[in-house]
């Protein structure tokens, strides 16, 4: 069972002449059963999103077009950055991590989430996050 943020390399099937397919099958590469899938697109060049923390929710994020830089911070103040620049690379984000997501031009983010939307699961204040133990 994955406990820390980490890159998941997805299968990349195909070739340059016909294109590629990458996939995630149920109960295969995900450390949770997905309950929600959403995507973010049309974000202005060099925009920062995220800026929140989840008590319970886990996520797998894939940059299906362009490039994302994701900065995560845990409750101990440890910070780690990831670059997603290939649709065959996914980032697992466990619960209890603050996230800042930097969109580069024309990026499209796909998110697979472990829970349905629940506003009570969010902490949107960084100072409040810093006081969570």
- Which active-site residues does the annotation give? 52
CA distances from 50 to 8, 15, 27, 29, 119 (A): 20, 34, 27, 24, 14
């Amino acid at each position: 069972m994955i406990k820390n943020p980490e890159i998941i390399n997805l299968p990349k099937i195909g070739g340059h002449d016909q294109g590629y397919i990458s996939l995630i099958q149920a109960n295969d590469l995900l450390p949770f059963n997905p309950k929600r899938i959403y995507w973010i697109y049309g974000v202005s060049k060099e925009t920062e999103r995220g800026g929140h923390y989840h008590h319970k929710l886990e996520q797998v994020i894939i940059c299906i077009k362009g490039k994302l830089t994701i900065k995560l911070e845990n409750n101990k103040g440890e910070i780690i950055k990831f670059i997603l620049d290939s649709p065959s690379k996914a980032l697992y984000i466990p619960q209890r991590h603050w996230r800042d997501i930097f969109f580069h031009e024309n990026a499209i983010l796909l998110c697979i989430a472990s829970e349905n939307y629940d506003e009570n699961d969010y902490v949107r204040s960084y100072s409040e996050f810093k006081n969570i133990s």
